[in-house]
Homo-oligomer: A and B are copies of this chain.
Amino acid sequence: MVKIVDKEQIKQLFAEGQRLMIGGFIECGAPHRLIDLLLESGVGNLTLIGNDTGFDDQKSGQLVVEKRLSRVIVSHIGTNKETGRQMNRGDLEVELIPQGTLVEQIRAGGAGLGGVLTPTGIGTPVAEESRTIEVDGREYLLAKPLRADLALVKAWKADRDGNLLFRYAARNFNPVMAMAGDKVVVEAEEIVPAGEIDPNQVMTPGIFVDYILQNGGEGASV
């Protein structure tokens, strides 16, 4: 059942050493308000599963800049120079995964699959870290499921039942992560009354969502 909660309640969801999925694609569609609360909460030693580590001068990137992460599982770190520096110093473990494999791993985690077989990465260093499985004479790499303690998701609109809409390219990893977190926390640009989102057009069904950050001031009724 979806709960609409305030900032303090969100902060209590965070804990040292958690494994987090955070939506977004180089800041576009990233849950910047939730990341702010995560930074404020002071927790660290986190594992981040996401497409990238953001820009070092923008919000998502601050998780690296403020040294909250001990491990990242991402497809790309080129937009955040601090990630590379911490990696080279040995302060941050970086696992690079092809983007299409990463998204299938998250989907497998959410969909109850034991993994998927992908041709991507065969003949490359990625193959050295994966199990190779041959099917009908062709080789594939096993991409194992990924799940997280919390998935932080940015929506455009959320209704009171947790049904979500995303906007344009801000959709990206958000819907699939909403399936793969033990708890799913949503930040929405707008919280609309139940029934306002056409059930035929819902992008993420509310049954995947646990918490929605209320909009407005601390005591505002949303």
Contact = CB atoms under 8 A, between A and B. Distances in A.
A5 interface: no
A166 to B, nearest CB: 8
Nearest to A104: B113
The DSSP consensus for interface residues of chain A is mixed
The number of times this chain is found in the oligomer is: 2
Contact of A200 (B111, B114, B119, B168): B168
Interface residues of A, number: 24
A133 interface: yes
Interface string A110-154: 011111111100000000000001011010101010000000000
Contacts of A135: 114-115, 142, 144
Q: Which of A136, A142, A200 has the most CB of B within 10 A?
A: A200
A33 to B, nearest CB: 22
A108 interface: yes
Contacts of A200: 165-168
